[in-house]
Structure 1
Amino acid sequence: MSNKTYKTLDLFAGIGGIRMGFERAGFETVFSNDFDPYCKPTYDLNYKTAQLAVGDIQKIKSSSLPAFDILLGGFPCQPFSVAGYRRGFLDTGRGDLFFEIVRILRDKKPSAFLLENVKNLKSHDKGKTFKIISDALADLGYHVKVKVLNSMEYGNVPQNRERVYIAGFKSKKAHDVFEFPEQTPLTKSISDILEESVDSKYYYNDSTLYKQLKEAIKSPNTVYQWRRAYVRENKSGVCPTLTANMGMGGHNVPLVKDKKGIRKLTPRECARLQGFPESYKLPKDLPDTKLYKQFGNSVTVSVVERVARQMMKALQTNNNYVYREPVKRTTRVLRTAA
């Protein structure tokens, strides 16, 4: 077994959810990047090294990046999600950013990578999108494994959140050793993530919607959603997928009932649903709307940590040196700006 400290590159970093999972598993972060300047106060408040470099990844030259072993990237999912209307690679500036990952993998040749996206990525455009992605990664010489993991089944958090995880290794041996984690029992309930004392600003008691909400929201152990014209009860006993438009007047605002009335989830509760620890700090001067978006866009830390531990085991395998040569295709899929 190797005692090497594996270094990671944190791309499309958001507020550092993937980074946190990997650092908990023993990895070291050497660089982080995201395009959203509002993520920087949250990110930098929690990480004192390799703080967030805000900027367009298309303008970051591979040669300027520090040496690293594993590329991490939760590349923009909206173009492939139902909520994002599934525009895919046609969503210029977001959907095509995957090719920036390809560029950096090609230029820097790290030992491994982990990519995360919405479940619909696999079925988008009748599977054509995912084939392009798979072919591009194979062309670079990576052995890839893919699995859809639900946070409530693999992260012990009461959130129904299905995401596809793509793990790639240069080493055939590491690829063969790597296995995604097994399902784990869900022991936490909605009541476990709720705060005891919540500011009045989160309550709908004085809202014009209160009468309608009160008639529909009965159980204190259930998460509801306001769907513009009606209330939806989530009977599964868990929270539906947190989204980026939470708290912004959208139709996916999660609602709960407590002793004081009916309210939306707080940013801290959203952090708990995403597996962030209590030690994770929230900026006091950042609007809640930004925090909701950040946690809605984030990953479930507890899921990522379990995947990261499995990747660490694979990378530490003896004889981790069997590399796959890049493939030359007549039709190239690499399209980058930098």
Structure 2
Amino acid sequence: MKFTEKINLEEFNGKKYKIRIVEAENDEAILTHYLHNNKNGVSKFYKKDAINFAKTLIQYKYPEENITDKVAEEAIQYGLFDSFQVPFPPLESPKFTFIDLFAGIGGFRLAMQNLGGKCIYSSEWDKEAKKTYKANFGETPFGDITKESTKSYIPDNFDVLCAGFPCQAFSIAGKRGGFEDTRGTLFFDVAEIIKRKKPKAIFLENVKGLRSHDKGRTLETILNVLRNDLGYFVPDPEIINAKDFGVPQNRERIYIVGFRNDLGIKNFSYPKPFERKVSFAEVKEENVVSTKYYLSTQYLITLRNHKERHQSKGNGFGYNIIKDEEIAGAVVCGGMGRERNLVYDYRITDFTPITKIKGVVNREGIRKMTPREWARLQGFPDNYVIPVADASAYKQFGNSVAVPAIQATANEILKKLNYVK
């Protein structure tokens, strides 16, 4: 097992303790998962290791005391490690259970909780994303899902497996394109978990390009594994656009839905687009934003020159300014994700540069969107906490799923399972 060398009780109860101990990679995940499940049968998957970790923490705080399992368990029960004072705590009386793989910052989780679900396991390897996830849900996701030590904590008998898994290439040339041919890819880890746990339903999300990747053979292999190797009814995947589900963002993603064959479900319809369309004006910051989001004159010149060079070659690359009545392009990681979603905002009053820039702050009212605007473009409510620096926030929202589109699709899945009407 991998070990790191730091732990701070501030992560659990808001107090600072100057201690250093050896921490197993998933200890905090185990403890927070136990806290969120200690009143249901799922707690047995976490209880022993959670109590051991709690003992270790308390022992370092009170080195002269004899800390027993009973003392540690009582400390947990009395809220010493409380992690429920967050915007989106787990539901008291859930209608169904699910697990959240490649969880990111919890877009799937938010959608599923909105529909009455309880997350009983989450996994995410990125440390900054885990920080955001915990700030909002009170739970630290487990780490690298490719490791058996991480998979071993997944409980049995959950209803829905959710995964926005990254698309990796895998070669199927000259092969059947079955379960074994996906080894070495992250989809294999998802498939392996499905094979072990046999959830009632699966809900996978990926980039639109998965449909055409390797001339369609990658998607064909995935569907073959789900349908033939794992025994799921999987209707043809659908390309879903976030702009059709209440957010002003042109974001197309492929959704793959499946139901265990023994449930007898033989048909499924993806959700119909909402009638009401929204524009950027509905997610725009209500107040004047910091000058740091406004572009410098020199930066604008650079962007315009870059765009002109590409246009002269017949390419469509370059910056783009979204008007209030328009919808944004897809928010993605990297500088171009922000540069292709610039906006006009003439409310600026202080043109004094906050950061070190070349030139001066532009007088055309051109600025980047803020992280909160990106959050709204992805359907995250305003009480969703953004505890990280802007650079990390842009990355996290750019990698996230669009919550309303996920929720609309999940609602159709749950109808088939008779969890919602």
Given the two structures, how large is their TM-score scaled by the length of structure 2?
0.63
**Matches for 1:251-270 after TM superposition, within 5 Å:** 252-259=339-346, 260=348, 261-270=365-374
Q: Which blocks of at least 5 consecutive residues in structure 2 are unaligned?
A: 1-92, 172-181, 306-314, 349-364
- Per-residue CA shift, 1:263-313, capped at 9, x if unaligned? 101100000000111111110xx2211110100000000111111111111
Question: Which residue does the alignment assign to 2:190?
Answer: 101
Of 104, 109, 112 in structure 2, the residue corresponding to residue 22 of structure 1 is 112
Matched ranges for 1:140-289 at <5 A: 140-145=230-235, 146-153=237-244, 155-171=245-261, 175-176=265-266, 178-195=268-285, 196-204=287-295, 206-210=296-300, 230-232=318-320, 237-245=326-334, 248=335, 252-259=339-346, 260=348, 261-283=365-387, 286-289=388-391
Q: Is the 1:43–1:51 contact (alpha carbons within 8 Å) kept by the matching residues of 2?
A: yes
The aligned counterpart of 1:324 is none
Q: Which amino acid aligns with 1:168?
A: G
Shift of 1:76: 1.0
Q: Matched residue of 1:271: which SS?
A: helix
Equivalenced residue count is 289
Superposition RMSD in Å: 3.1
Q: Which of 95, 109, 133 is the matching residue for 1:5? A: 95
Report if aligned partners of 2:293, 2:368 keep a CA contact under 8 Å in 1. yes
Deviations, residues 22-79 of structure 1 (Å, cap 9, x unaligned): 111111100111111110111001102x4322334333454421122211000014x4
- Distance across 1 between alignment mates of 2:96 and 2:255: 20
Provide the rounded CA distance (Å) in 2 between the counterparts of 1:158 and 1:41. Answer: 27
Which TM-score applies when normalising by structure 1? Answer: 0.77
Judge conservation of contact 1:144–1:175 (CA < 8 Å) in 2: no
In the alignment, which of 170, 177, 180 is matched to residue 89 of structure 1? 170
Aligned ranges for residues 32-181 of structure 1 at < 5 Å? 32-48=122-138, 50-60=139-149, 62-67=151-156, 68-77=158-167, 79=168, 88-89=169-170, 96-138=185-227, 139-145=229-235, 146-153=237-244, 155-171=245-261, 175-176=265-266, 178-181=268-271
- Contact persistence 1:253–1:264 (CA under 8 A): no
Shift in Å, 1:171: 4.1
Which moved further from structure 2: 67-76 or 13-22? Answer: 67-76
Q: Distance in 1 between matches of 2:289 and 2:94?
A: 45
Shift of 1:4: 7.7
The 1-side partners of 2:394 and 2:343 are apart by 16
Q: Cα gap change, 1:249/1:147 in structure 2, threshold over 3 Å: closer, same or farther?
A: closer
Which consecutive residues of structure 1, in runs of 5 or more, have no partner in the other structure?
Answer: 80-87, 216-226, 319-338
Residue type matched to 1:231 in 2?
Answer: Y
How far apart are the structure 1 equivalents of 2:219 and 2:99?
A: 23
AA partner of residue 257 (structure 1) = Y
Bigger Rg, which one:
2
How far is 1:95 from its partner?
8.0
Match of 2:405 among 293, 300, 303: 303
Q: Could you list the runs of 4 or more consecutive aligned residues of structure 1 that deviate by over 6 angstroms after TM superposition?
A: 212-215
Structure 2 counterpart of 1:46, one-letter code: N
- Distance in 2 (CA, whole Å) between partners of 1:316 and 1:36 is 35
Q: Is the 2:102–2:165 contact (alpha carbons within 8 Å) kept by the matching residues of 1? A: yes
Structure with the bigger percentage of helix: 2
Question: SS state of the match for residue 51, structure 1?
Answer: coil
Distance 2:94 2:140 in 1: 23
Residues 40/228 of structure 1: CA separation in 2 closer, same or farther (3 Å cut): farther
